[in-house]
């Protein structure tokens, strides 16, 4: 029908990627009872949650040159925009060494309830692993079920767009 | 070429904000020769990624492509009472008074309906009013990407809400895993004109219905990705195949120049490869 479709595809191959994570897993967690997007209180220090120190160690690692960009041997940090989530505002910091992500940590997370702290404790280390997995997949763009404008904020495509510069 | 991939794969590197203080030479070259743009319209987000051509022609083509998407939204949005599609449906605008783009889309919808044996339909709703929403976005993205390619850009990637059209390359297009948010199910490697469209319920719930029953499809996969040269076709085939449920595999297998990839509800996957695909 369409003459284009008769031509063979040029170099198309599907390869399976075991796990390449998205960056914003944090935002897909279940809400706690009262979700007040605007009203949640926040803190502005790096997370040091008491409950399970072992789980958070990947996120806390190598924050040496925090704050401004710079640092030696290609280590630098980048602060993300503050994003309003249904749990409250979230802001993340990414540490890169020689262009590779070595850590993700939270500058600002909601801490309205013990549930919030639980989420932070779980999500931030998870986020680090997912972000590192995503860059190892080396993708340019993402195809998936159509997202809305709101859904885009949480998407891997959004993270790629921000990364591209 | 590998450097381009590295640049793309590092979330958090915000080059536009001028905070990139350390990039090696290859990265710098890659950045200088690459333009990205994000545009919100049609209720979703369009991401442009253009390599190998940042001259005035490509810049102008990028502006034109963005303007084109907004134009399409104005003409075709069913959510705007003043759009041509809304007025056509309301009977206050004659088809002959519509822009020829409406005629073109109508013809493309009929093609898609015929090709899919009625599983893609722009007239399934109450009263059979013409609703080309399922085709317009893919068609608009396909044309936007062609505008950039014909302006001389060496490699073009336009992503409209999760449906992708590329020219040139190489491009690596991740396909979302519908069962694990944020993860990828597979990666499509493209070098040349290629489209990747995915249908599924992961983002907006089940919004595709069986045009024969008006109900959600039975035995639909968790997501279905169709790969062929043009996004109008890839997108409508993904929609139709999703609605077909367990009939999709056999149908997709018969489509020339087309490949597909599905993740089923239990997490298993299947692929098809049509003649010449």
Same domain, A3 and A23: yes
If asked whether residues A43 and A26 sit together in one domain, one would say no
Q: Nearest C-alpha of chain B: how many angstroms from A34?
A: 23
Using a CB-CB cut-off of 8 Å, the residues of chain B touching A69 are 19-21
Cβ burial A86-108 (10 Å sphere, 16+ → b, else e): ebbbbebbbbbbebebbbbbbbb
Q: Are residues A54 and A134 part of one domain? A: yes
Containing domain of residue A8, as a range?
A: 1-30
Greatest mean pLDDT range, A133-137, A145-149, B18-22, B167-171: B167-171
Task: For residues A24 and A40, state if they share a domain.
Answer: no
Q: Do both A88 and A131 map to the same domain?
A: yes
**CB–CB contact B159 A7 (8 Å):** no
CB contact under 8 A, A10 and B188: no
Q: Report B:44-63 residues touching A (Cβ under 8 A).
A: 44-45, 47, 49
Q: A43 with A117, same domain?
A: yes
- Does A56 share its domain with A17? no
Q: With an 8 Å Cβ cutoff, is B175 touching chain A?
A: yes
CA distance B93 to chain A (A): 29
CA A154 – CA A150 distance, rounded (Å): 7
Does CATH number 3.10.520.10 belong to domain B3-273?
A: yes
Mean pLDDT, all residues of chain B:
85
Among A9, A152, A165, select the one facing B31 at the smallest CB separation. A165
Among partner residues A131, A143, A156, which is closest to B197 by beta-carbon distance? A143
- pLDDT tens, B92-112? 999 999 999 999 999 999 999
**Contact criterion met (CB < 8 Å) for B277 and A8:** yes
Per domain, the residue ranges of chain B are 3-273
Model confidence over B185-232: pLDDT tens digits?
888 999 999 999 999 987 777 677 787 777 778 778 999 999 999 999
Partner A contacted by B205 (CB < 8 A): no
The residue written with tokens 């404008």 in the block is A149
Residue carrying structure tokens 């109450």: B126
Per residue in A29-76, pLDDT (tens digit) is 323 323 233 333 333 333 333 222 222 223 333 333 333 344 445 777
Residue B232 has a pLDDT of 98
CB B35 within 8 A of CB B50: yes
- Does one domain contain both A19 and A60? no
Which pLDDT value is given to residue A123? 64
Query: Which residues, at least 6 apart from B159, have a Cβ–Cβ distance to it below 8 Å?
Result: A141, A142, A143, A157, B46, B47, B49, B141
A22:B182 CB<8 A: yes
Residue A90 pairs with which residues in a beta bridge?
A83
| pLDDT for A122 | 60
Asked if the Cβ–Cβ distance from B7 to A165 is below 8 Å, we say yes
pLDDT of residue A15: 37
Task: Kindly report the nearest CA distance between residue A156 and chain B, in angstroms.
Answer: 6
Number of domains in chain A: 2
CB pair distance less than 8 Å for A141 and B159:
yes
For A85, counting Cβ atoms within 10 Å of its Cβ (0-12 exposed, 13-18 middle, 19+ buried), the class is buried
Element (H, E) at A75: strand A75-79
């Amino acid at each position: 029908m369409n003459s284009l479709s008769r031509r063979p595809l040029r170099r198309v191959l599907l390869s399976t990627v075991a796990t390449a994570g998205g960056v914003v897993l944090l935002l897909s967690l279940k809400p706690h009872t009262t979700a007040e997007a605007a009203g949640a209180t926040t803190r502005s220090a790096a997370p040091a949650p008491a409950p399970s120190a072992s789980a958070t160690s990947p996120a806390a690692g190598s924050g040496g040159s925090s704050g401004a960009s710079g640092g030696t041997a290609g280590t630098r940090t980048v602060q993300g925009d503050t994003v309003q989530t249904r749990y409250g505002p979230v802001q993340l910091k990414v540490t890169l060494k020689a262009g590779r992500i070595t850590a993700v940590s939270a500058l600002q997370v909601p801490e309205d309830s013990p549930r919030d702290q639980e989420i932070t404790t779980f999500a931030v280390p998870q986020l680090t692993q997912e972000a590192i997995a995503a860059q190892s997949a080396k993708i340019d763009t993402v195809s998936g079920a159509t997202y809305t404008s709101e859904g885009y904020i949480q998407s891997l495509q959004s993270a790629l767009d921000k990364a591209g510069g | 070429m590998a450097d381009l991939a590295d640049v793309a794969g590092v979330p958090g590197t915000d080059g536009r904000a001028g905070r990139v203080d350390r990039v090696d030479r290859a990265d710098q070259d890659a950045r200088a020769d690459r333009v990205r743009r994000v545009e919100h319209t049609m209720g979703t987000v369009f991401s442009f990624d253009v390599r190998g051509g940042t001259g005035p022609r490509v810049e102008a083509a990028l502006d034109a492509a963005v303007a084109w998407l907004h134009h399409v939204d104005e003409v075709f949005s069913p959510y705007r009472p003043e759009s041509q599609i809304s007025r056509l449906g309301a009977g206050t605008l004659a088809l002959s008074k519509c822009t020829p783009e409406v005629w073109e889309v109508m013809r493309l919808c009929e093609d898609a309906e015929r090709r899919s044996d009625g599983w893609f339909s722009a007239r399934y709703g109450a009263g059979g009013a013409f609703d080309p929403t399922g085709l317009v976005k893919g068609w608009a993205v396909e044309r936007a990407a062609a505008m950039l390619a014909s302006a001389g850009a060496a490699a073009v990637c336009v992503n409209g809400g999760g449906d992708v059209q590329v020219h040139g390359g190489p491009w690596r297009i991740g396909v979302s895993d519908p069962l694990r948010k944020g993860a990828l199910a597979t990666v499509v490697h493209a070098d040349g004109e290629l489209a990747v469209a995915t249908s599924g319920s992961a983002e907006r719930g089940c919004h595709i219905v069986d045009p024969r029953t008006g109900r959600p499809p039975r035995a639909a996969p968790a997501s279905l990705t169709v790969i062929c040269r043009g996004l109008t076709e890839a997108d409508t085939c993904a929609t139709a195949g999703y609605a077909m449920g367990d009939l999709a595999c056999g149908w997709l297998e018969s489509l020339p120049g087309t490949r597909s990839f599905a993740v089923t509800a239990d997490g298993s996957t299947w692929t098809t490869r049509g003649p010449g695909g």
